């Protein structure tokens, strides 16, 4: 009868029984002629079982729910969300068990969703051609995908093994790359005799509060081969175009000179021969530019006095100085940096900028020297900025009036980049506010 009463109803029923039953028992006992003490004792004896039964009836659903919740919590701790509680007892507890059932259903759906995502991620990681190795702080391997197992362990499982021990027998170049903390491109001869080019990248992060390191090895041989073929095709097209542009006029002028000589008309021969010489000089300069790019020697760094360096550069290219040079001497190969800056200044003049707006700015901060060439030309589009530093990409061909290097050969900016990187530096291009371009060469000044 009291099964579906609320907890409040059960409490009121117990209190009502405690208030009504004792007086009735005492009254009944007194009518039997017994004195008050005996009547009170009888009332107490009658009330104790009644109160015990009411308390048990009141607390029973709470005890059942407590045991059920304890079992559910233990199941959740073990990752089992399938346990459901049977709705029973007072209305409040029935509502609580239904909420518990909804929570279990939500957790099961979330767990299933996470399991599917984990399966998808594991499938992607295991089947990617990039070799992936995740190590913990102890250098124990936590994850190694199929590509890593084939490259580093002959296909065997590497999980749980010591990473330095695994790579100890690898070729020296591959082992050095995996031990380094930076990104690098390298070529290694594999045990089967094949040469492979890899790109190694590594990152550190915290996983579940513990430091981990992720290493990625990507085979680049095929991509580099395609890029090499594409570059050679571009070189051949540029060379063919330039050679034809020079050889065709030379051939025509030579024929004209021979015809003039045959007729005895020697007055125009010097002009014809001078034109042939100009075209030959242009072709020589063109080929010398390519040879300089291909045979760039290692830089010979030395302390460079700014006054002499800037005065000599000013005699070769026209520019203004933006600010004063650093108080400390520079540390670089003066001949190579001079060549790079001459290319950039020449580009600035060819951009259509007002010559008075072409400036050179020098700053020294944080152990790095920053050399900027500034102009007020039309600048570059985003597409050209992304390609301008590539060899053989001439911005003069793609955007008339904009930057160009080496007379349209696409080597001016590329040579500047090669010189900067040979100094362990970098080069960056960007459009200026108000129009124009900024080309910045940054060089480390560590001696």
Is the pLDDT score of 446 beyond 60? yes
The band of 361, judged by pLDDT with boundaries at 50, 70 and 90, is very high
Range in 23-27, 137-141, 429-433 with the lowest mean pLDDT: 23-27
The band of 1, judged by pLDDT with boundaries at 50, 70 and 90, is very low
Is the pLDDT score of 27 beyond 70? no
Is the pLDDT score of 167 beyond 60? yes
Percentage of the chain with pLDDT > 70? 70
Predicted local confidence at residue 331, as pLDDT: 92
The band of 400, judged by pLDDT with boundaries at 50, 70 and 90, is very low
Of 258 and 95, the one with more pLDDT: 258
pLDDT tens-place string over residues 92-101:
667 777 777 7
Predicted local confidence at residue 442, as pLDDT: 92
What rounded mean pLDDT belongs to the chain?
Answer: 78
Q: For residues 223-242, give the mean pLDDT.
A: 67
Q: Give the tokens for residue 384.
A: 């050209």
Is the pLDDT score of 376 beyond 80? yes
Q: For residues 315-340, give the mean pLDDT.
A: 89
Predicted local confidence at residue 291, as pLDDT: 67
User: What separation, in Å, do the N-terminal and C-terminal C-alpha atoms of the chain show?
Assistant: 95
């Amino acid at each position: 009868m009291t099964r579906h009463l609320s907890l409040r109803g059960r409490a009121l029923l117990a209190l009502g029984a405690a208030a009504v039953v004792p007086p009735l028992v005492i009254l009944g006992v007194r009518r039997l002629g017994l004195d008050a003490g005996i009547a009170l004792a009888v009332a107490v004896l009658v009330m104790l079982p009644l109160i015990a039964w009411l308390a048990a009836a009141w607390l029973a659903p709470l005890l059942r729910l407590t045991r059920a919740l304890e079992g559910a919590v233990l199941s959740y701790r073990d990752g089992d969300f399938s346990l459901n509680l049977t709705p029973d007892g007072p209305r409040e507890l029935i509502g609580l068990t239904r909420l518990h059932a909804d929570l279990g259903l939500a957790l099961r759906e979330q767990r299933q969703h996470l399991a599917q995502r984990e399966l998808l991620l594991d499938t992607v990681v295991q089947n990617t051609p990039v070799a992936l190795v995740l190590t913990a702080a102890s250098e124990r391997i936590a994850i190694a995908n199929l590509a890593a197992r084939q490259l580093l362990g002959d296909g065997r499982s590497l999980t749980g093994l010591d990473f330095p021990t695994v790579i100890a027998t690898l070729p020296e170049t591959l082992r050095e790359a995996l031990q380094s903390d930076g990104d690098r491109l390298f070529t290694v001869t594999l045990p089967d005799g094949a040469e492979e080019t890899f790109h190694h990248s590594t990152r550190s992060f915290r996983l579940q509060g513990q430091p981990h390191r992720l290493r990625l090895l990507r085979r680049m041989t095929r991509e580099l081969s395609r890029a090499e073929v594409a570059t050679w095709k571009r070189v051949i097209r540029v060379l063919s175009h330039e050679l034809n542009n020079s050889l065709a006029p030379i051939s025509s002028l030579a024929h004209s000179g021979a015809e003039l000589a045959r007729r005895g008309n020697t007055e125009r021969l010097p002009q014809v021969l001078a034109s042939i010489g100009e075209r030959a000089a242009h072709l020589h300069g063109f080929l010398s530019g390519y040879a300089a790019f291909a045979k760039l020697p290692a830089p010979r760094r030395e302390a460079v006095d700014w006054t002499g360096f800037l005065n000599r550069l000013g005699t070769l290219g026209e520019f203004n100085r933006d600010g004063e040079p650093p108080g400390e001497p520079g540390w670089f190969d003066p001949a190579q940096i001079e060549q790079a800056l001459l290319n950039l200044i020449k580009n600035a003049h060819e951009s259509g900028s007002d010559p008075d707006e072409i400036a050179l700015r020098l700053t020294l901060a944080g152990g790095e020297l920053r050399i900027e060439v500034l102009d007020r030309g039309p600048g570059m589009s985003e597409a050209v900025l992304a390609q301008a530093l590539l060899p053989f990409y001439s911005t003069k061909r793609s955007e008339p009036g904009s930057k160009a290097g080496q007379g349209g050969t696409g080597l001016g900016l590329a040579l500047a980049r090669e010189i900067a990187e040979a100094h362990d530096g970098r080069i960056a291009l960007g459009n200026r506010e108000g129009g124009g371009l900024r080309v910045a060469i940054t060089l480390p000044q560590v001696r």
